[in-house]
Structure 1
Amino acid sequence: MVRRAIERHVGTVTSATAVDGGQNNDLAAVVHGGVSGPVFVKAVRGTSRPMRWLRNEITAGMLADGIAPAVIFSEEVEADDLWLIVGFEYLPGRPADLTPGSVDLAVVGRTLDRISALPAPGIRGLHARWTVPDWWSRVRDAAPDVAAGWDVERMDRWTALAPAAVEGDRLAHTDLHADQFILGPDGAVHVIDWGWPAAAAPWVDTAFLVIRLIDAGHSPAAAEAWAAQRPGWTPDDDALTAFAAFVAGLWTYRAVTDGAAGPWVRAARDYAAWRAGVAVS
């Protein structure tokens, strides 16, 4: 059924190669054959958050034209359940290298500049999603050892300021990291996986990249110095501290409650500690 839907749009499929990292989809594969060359196909079964996220990727393909993968086709199919099937342009390339001294940092910065200049009509504001003011208290309740050494009440006060700090009307990806940048052999750069776009202040995506730069080996000061070269980098110190406190609290809570852990969580805490002047071992 899914194959037939795909072939209605691209012609006869001769082979398909599964793509790693498609955990939010029931199908993620590069489909070969047909009349248009390889196509990257994602499909989700059943009305759910992953289906909403896939719809968001369709929207982003229009709002971030030339940056997000172009949408070749999308179709809903009713069989044993509702399926959403989306075909994206296939983008060969490699992820970005964010380590200190990498030549990729310049092109990543220019890509951020392009995204931060885009409007976000009809996209929900990040400030409306960031409604929890006490992530740090929740971390302490769930894992007291992880919160040890932090002034939880102070971090919650910073966290509560984050929604107002990030409010804006520019398009934000909100989940940028090295693997989301595809650097093509022809020099083209694209950004993939637009499942969580938001309207936000123009500096927000760059602030998310600051955390990833720290994870890649930059000091917090060096990461912010890199960010300060971006024309959309307009936050004041309080806005950045509120952002860092919110993200570190949120990511840490997810890590201790559902196992969504990774080195980026530690990097987020390191950034929040540096911003808030906290000495944590």
Structure 2
Amino acid sequence: MIERYGWDDLPDAVRGAIRQHLGQPTVLREVEQGQNCNLALVVKDDRGTAFLKGVRGVSPRMRWLRNEATAGELATGLAPATRFCEDVDPDWLVVGFEYLSGRPAVLAPGSADLPLIAKSVTRISEFDGGAAQPLSARWAAADWWTKLAEVARQDVVGWDLDEVTEWSRRAARFVSGSALLHTDLHEHQFMIDDKTGRVRVIDWGRPASGAAWVDVAFLVIRLIAAGHRPADAEQWATAVPSWKTATKEALTAFACYVAGLWTYRGVTSPFTGSTELSFAAKDYAAHRLTGWNVRPRRV
């Protein structure tokens, strides 16, 4: 469990750095959601309301927060704007974001939010990935099913490991592209303002560049986890123009890769909802594999 800090618990140097940007902020509330930061506060200063986020210690979490701080430039008007970003000795990174009010999306079948989500994902796919790390590079390793078999043999029963591993090896090539990807979209990443109908997207800790349909495919799995049948989730995806650029082979490779990766991580580093996500990912992989009569050629 990551250690969380309130305002009064912060080192003097961290509070001092924040005051340089926000004066003497008034803490409105602590934000309990989020598993990757040591500091999460909603505060108010003379310019309005801000969201403070901080990480202590050099780690992947610090890299993810630094990514978030630049997301406002990658997805202007969709990601929250960054008011300041500062490294504080000896080992803190603190970022002040534009505060976004709203509620998370509802992904259940029949939800009125589903068309709004489709429009938001369409907007993301229209941004250029710029200098974001290529997803194809991140997905260079493709042995998740083999690793899964070593630690949880019961989770691969009924699967042809050679088949799903070969599909997984093809995934990196298929997800290559230049569009901006969020790569971690789920209901809590969408902030919906019911008064205006505006949707913003938060938590850009792991952006990437890649094929524009990839974020849509990730959401297909999230929809399955929320109760949609795989075919119905894919039907929803047709509302996003980039979905039509994904080939049958690309979607099958994607589904096999994600099913192996998410199930392995759910076993070795479980988190809230990881079991449901691994089941949904494997359901989607099984759906995509239906109708393939031959194993893909090695690449």
Q: What interval of TM-score do these two structures reach, taking the shorter chain for normalisation?
A: over 0.9
Using the TM superposition, give the Cα deviation of residue 36 of structure 1 relative to its aligned residue in structure 2, in angstroms.
Answer: 1.7
- For the residues of structure 1 that align with 2:159 and 2:53, how far apart are their CA atoms? 42
Q: Look up the match of 2:216.
A: 206
- For the residues of structure 2 that align with 1:9 and 1:186, how far apart are their CA atoms? 30
Q: Look up the match of 2:50.
A: 39
Q: Look up the match of 1:275.
A: 288
- Residue 159 of structure 2 corresponds to residue 146 of structure 1: no
State the SS of the aligned residue for 1:15.
strand
Using the TM superposition, give the Cα deviation of residue 9 of structure 1 relative to its aligned residue in structure 2, in angstroms.
Answer: 1.1
- For the residues of structure 1 that align with 2:78 and 2:52, how far apart are their CA atoms? 18
Deviations for 1:179-237, whole angstroms, at most 9, x for unmatched residues? 10000243221111000000010000000000011111111001111112211111111
Are the counterparts in 1 of residues 224 and 230 from structure 2 also a CA contact under 8 Å? yes
Deviations for 1:16-46, whole angstroms, at most 9, x for unmatched residues? 42212232111111123x2122210111122
Deviations for 1:100-134, whole angstroms, at most 9, x for unmatched residues? 11111111000111100110111110000002222
Q: Look up the match of 1:182.
A: 191
- For the residues of structure 1 that align with 2:33 and 2:112, how far apart are their CA atoms? 26
Q: Look up the match of 1:8.
A: 20
Are the counterparts in 1 of residues 70 and 82 from structure 2 also a CA contact under 8 Å? no
Structure 1 regions of 5+ residues with no counterpart? none
Let me know the Cα RMSD of the aligned residues: 1.3
One-letter amino acid of the structure 1 residue matched with residue 283 of structure 2: D
Q: Look up the match of 2:239.
A: 229
Structure 2 regions of 5+ residues with no counterpart? 1-12, 292-299
- For the residues of structure 1 that align with 2:267 and 2:138, how far apart are their CA atoms? 21
- For the residues of structure 1 that align with 2:229 and 2:66, how far apart are their CA atoms? 37
One-letter amino acid of the structure 1 residue matched with residue 284 of structure 2: Y
Q: 2:86 aligns with which of 51, 65, 75?
A: 75
Are the counterparts in 1 of residues 182 and 204 from structure 2 also a CA contact under 8 Å? yes
Q: 2:94 aligns with which of 77, 85, 97?
A: 85
Using the TM superposition, give the Cα deviation of residue 274 of structure 1 relative to its aligned residue in structure 2, in angstroms.
Answer: 0.9
TM-score computed with the length of structure 1 as normaliser: 0.95
State the SS of the aligned residue for 1:196.
coil
Q: Look up the match of 1:103.
A: 112
Are the counterparts in 1 of residues 56 and 62 from structure 2 also a CA contact under 8 Å? yes
Number of aligned residue pairs: 275
Are the counterparts in 1 of residues 74 and 129 from structure 2 also a CA contact under 8 Å? yes
- Residue 225 of structure 2 corresponds to residue 215 of structure 1: yes
- Residue 170 of structure 2 corresponds to residue 158 of structure 1: no
One-letter amino acid of the structure 2 residue matched with residue 271 of structure 1: Y
- For the residues of structure 2 that align with 1:74 and 1:252, how far apart are their CA atoms? 35
Moved more, 202-211 or 92-101: 92-101
